[in-house]
Amino acid sequence: MGTDLRAPLGQNRKKPGRSRSGGLTAMFAALVFGSGLLGLSFYAMRAQKLEQAPATEVTVAVPPAEPAPPTQRPDQKQLQTNGQAGANIERSLMDDGSIITKITPRSRPGEGPLIINAQRFGQDPRMATLPNEDLLEDSPFGKLPIKGHDGLRPMEQYARPWSGARGTRIAIVIGGLGLSQTGTQRAIEDLPGEITFAFAASGNSLQRWMQEARRKGHELLIQIPMEPLDYPANDPGPLTLVTADGTKANLNRLHEAMGKITNYTGIVNYLGAGYLSNPSAVEPVLRDTAKRGLLFLDDGSSARTVTEKVAKPLDAPYAFADITIDGQLDRQAILRKLDELERVAQRKGTAIGMGSAFDETIDAVAEWAKEAQGRGIEIVGVASLVSDKSE
């Protein structure tokens, strides 16, 4: 048998091999350990990304509760309370610059469910070219903007959303779109979506241009021609609001201009030093725009304007432009005006600049906007800078 009987016991015994079950156990332990390390690495990376993420706005809808005294955490600053749409809307500004919006149903008669639309500011980009039919009414002049049954206003629905972060904010409005086809196309192609566009009521192909601008993310206004001081020697066109023509004729012209396009947040004057100095002429216009849920922007070109004085008692959504950036059509001069606008915003917190769709203006604004954002300036739609006591 080939066995040496004289050899010491155990000398020919085979060395024990590594068992299969023991190997599997070791492999499983290594896998668990590696997964744990990978999970910890992912968590650390995720936490770092969250710390660097930009401030966002969070909306929370809560059920009705018993009335209680308002409380406020020390790290919050209340921004505004809105009683529209059957709901109380309260926004709080957090220390990190984010905004939390709390929506609570108001007391109401009857029973049954109450649906609150938390999308109160801005529009889904996929639907930005389409009007909200609930915010339109039929008229002899076409579809005109109105407040929705739930209180939603066009100036909220079509506004460009902003970060909600604290810091310097600037709105730049470029007017005259629709008058020059090449100038309009160039503005839409070259200017960032943060720039607000104002379409001239007498422009061409406005509905098509509106859709292109909305696809690029621009907030829109419609530019209404108004009587200048040297009218009729200087006549802005057939839709011009003229003090001597009376309220009915002027509102008809205003509505005709409004019916040219949809999806805009408000109106801005074109010229109008003569008209805007007359409180009796201005009041019906501001009353009508406020009733429709639109903002009114005074372009700041007239020192005699009474728009702010008239807007306050009406609680009309209102803004006033600080600087006209292209009074001199030179690229370097426009860049200097934009720097001046930035200094105004740093002093006040916000500022609004007005310009027109000239090549020099488009070039200067496109260049300045890139640099300003690198300096921490947030360029916003004009609706976010409106004084609005109705909220």
Can you give the pLDDT of all 391 residues of the chain as single tens digits?
A: 444 444 444 444 444 444 444 555 556 555 555 555 555 554 445 444 434 444 444 444 444 444 444 444 444 444 433 444 455 566 566 665 555 666 666 565 556 555 444 445 688 888 999 999 999 999 999 999 999 999 999 999 999 999 988 899 999 999 999 999 999 999 999 999 999 999 999 999 999 999 999 999 999 999 999 999 999 999 999 999 999 999 999 999 999 999 999 999 999 999 999 999 999 999 999 999 999 999 999 999 999 999 999 999 999 999 999 999 999 999 999 999 999 999 999 999 999 999 999 999 999 999 999 999 899 999 999 999 998 866 5
Residue 388 has what pLDDT?
Answer: 85
Backbone angles phi, psi at 17, to 5 degrees: -85, 165
d(CA 335, CA 360): 10
Contact between 240 and 226 under an 8 Å Cβ cutoff? The reply is yes
Q: What is the CA radius of gyration of the chain?
A: 31
Give the burial class of 245: count Cβ atoms within 10 A of its Cβ; 0-12 exposed, 13-18 middle, 19 or more buried.
middle
d(CA 177, CA 296): 18
Q: Look-up: residue for tokens 């903002």?
A: 295
Specify the 3-state DSSP secondary structure of 136. strand
SS3 content of the chain, % helix, strand, coil (to 5): 35, 20, 45
Q: Are strands 295-298 and 318-320 parallel, antiparallel or unpaired?
A: parallel
Contact between 296 and 320 under an 8 Å Cβ cutoff? The reply is no
Contact between 160 and 381 under an 8 Å Cβ cutoff? The reply is yes
Query: Strand pairing partners for 295?
Result: 266
Residue 334 has what pLDDT?
Answer: 98
DSSP H or E run through 288: helix 279-291
Query: Strand pairing partners for 170?
Result: 351, 379
d(CA 386, CA 95): 23
DSSP H or E run through 270: strand 266-271
- Report the alpha-carbon angle 324-209-282, nearest 5: 45
Contact between 173 and 222 under an 8 Å Cβ cutoff? The reply is no
Please give, one letter per residue, the 3-state secondary structure of 87-155: EEEEEEEECCCCEEEEEEECCCCCCCCCCCCCCCCCCCHHHCCCCCHHHEEEECCEEEECCCCCCCCHH
Residues contacting 172, CB < 8 A, separation 6+: 194, 195, 196, 325, 338, 341, 352, 353, 355, 365, 369, 379
| Claim: this prediction has a pTM higher than 0.75 | no
Query: Strand pairing partners for 61?
Result: 103
For residue 232, cis peptide bond before it (omega within 30 degrees of 0): yes
DSSP H or E run through 331: helix 331-348
Residue 332 has what pLDDT?
Answer: 98
Residues contacting 108, CB < 8 A, separation 6+: 86, 114
Specify the 3-state DSSP secondary structure of 225. strand
Other CB atoms closer than 10 Å to residue 224's CB: what's the count?
A: 27
Q: How far is CA 66 from CA 100, 191, 290, in A?
A: 21, 50, 33
